[in-house]
């Protein structure tokens, strides 16, 4: 009876008793909580960040035009939003996307404070950014790519959100010791990102090189 009970418990547990599969190389390098907005605002909105993140130059390099739709994927506290807002005005929209509800609330309050009515906060899911199909002219992914799970499928699906001529800009930290950013184990090398995006069906269209600590890769869908 005891043996039978143990077997029944094992069958009921199912996969929970199975050996865990190794993590995929295409998943996030770490799952960092971002619910403490005050903590992250001190880091993300530190005035010294402008020296190395260069937000005005970065947004200018995206080549945005009035009336376009730009998505800031992993918008966080809204560091780039006022620059993106100006770049697509008049008539354009900034989708400030984040999966953390408290961050999205902060984005809404910041948009009111900065008087950027074309900034629309969007609460995403970790695997679904809720981009409008066929409408987005540019997706900016700054310091966020390494936080995304199942990246190959994620970016395969993203192609359907782009308007004709649309592009994806990935900005992330070089995988080496730096005075800012996450530790090296949480970073992804430039070459690794290039390979992943190629596997997901993208081609490198441009690569600005003015950022001191980041690679800046602009992709478009690869021809079929």
In a domain, 73, yes or no: yes
Nearest residue to 202 via CA among 172, 160, 149: 160
Give the tens place of pLDDT for each residue, 164-199: 999 999 999 999 999 998 888 889 999 999 999 999
The confidence score (pLDDT) of residue 32 equals: 66
In a domain, 45, yes or no: no
In a domain, 12, yes or no: no
Tokens read off for 65: 């035009």
Q: How confident is the model at residue 37 (pLDDT cuts 50, 70, 90)?
A: confident
If one counts the domains in the chain, the total is 1
Q: How confident is the model at residue 5 (pLDDT cuts 50, 70, 90)?
A: very low
pLDDT over 90 for what percent of the chain?
Answer: 76
Distance CA 98, CA 141 (A): 11
Query: Has residue 12 got a pLDDT over 70?
Result: no
The confidence score (pLDDT) of residue 30 equals: 66
In a domain, 189, yes or no: yes
Non-local CB neighbours of 71 within 8 Å, separated by 6+ positions = 94, 95, 97, 129, 131, 136, 138, 139, 140, 161
In a domain, 148, yes or no: yes
**CATH number of the CATH domain containing 168:** 3.40.50.150
Distance CA 114, CA 207 (A): 31
The confidence score (pLDDT) of residue 15 equals: 40
Query: Has residue 36 got a pLDDT over 80?
Result: no
Distance CA 223, CA 184 (A): 34
Report the pLDDT averaged over residues 121-148: 96
Rg (CA), the chain: 20
In a domain, 150, yes or no: yes
Taking the model in full, what pTM does it have? 0.86
Domain with 185 in it: 61-221
Non-local CB neighbours of 214 within 8 Å, separated by 6+ positions = 53, 143, 171, 172, 173, 174
Tokens read off for 199: 């596997």
């Amino acid at each position: 009876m005891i043996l039978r009970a143990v077997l029944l418990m094992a069958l009921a547990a199912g996969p929970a008793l199975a050996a865990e599969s190794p993590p995929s190389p295409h998943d996030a390098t770490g799952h960092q909580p971002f619910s403490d907005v005050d903590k992250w605002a001190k880091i993300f909105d530190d005035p010294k960040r402008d020296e190395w993140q260069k937000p005005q130059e970065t947004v200018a390099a995206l080549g945005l035009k009035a009336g376009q739709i730009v998505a800031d994927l992993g918008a966080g506290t809204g560091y780039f939003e006022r620059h993106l807002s100006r770049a697509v005005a008049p008539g354009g929209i900034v989708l400030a996307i984040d999966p953390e509800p408290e961050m999205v609330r902060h984005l809404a309050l910041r948009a009111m404070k900065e008087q950027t009515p074309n900034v629309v906060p969007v609460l995403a899911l970790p695997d679904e950014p809720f981009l409008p199909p066929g409408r987005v002219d540019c997706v900016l992914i700054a310091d966020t790519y390494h936080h995304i799970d199942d990246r190959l499928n994620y970016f395969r699906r993203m192609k359907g959100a782009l308007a004709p001529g649309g592009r994806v800009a990935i900005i992330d930290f070089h995988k080496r010791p730096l005075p800012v950013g996450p530790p090296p184990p949480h970073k992804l090398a430039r070459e690794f990102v290039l390979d992943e995006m190629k596997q997901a069906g993208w081609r490198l269209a441009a690569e600005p090189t003015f950022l001191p600590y980041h690679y800046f890769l602009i992709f478009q869908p690869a021809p079929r």
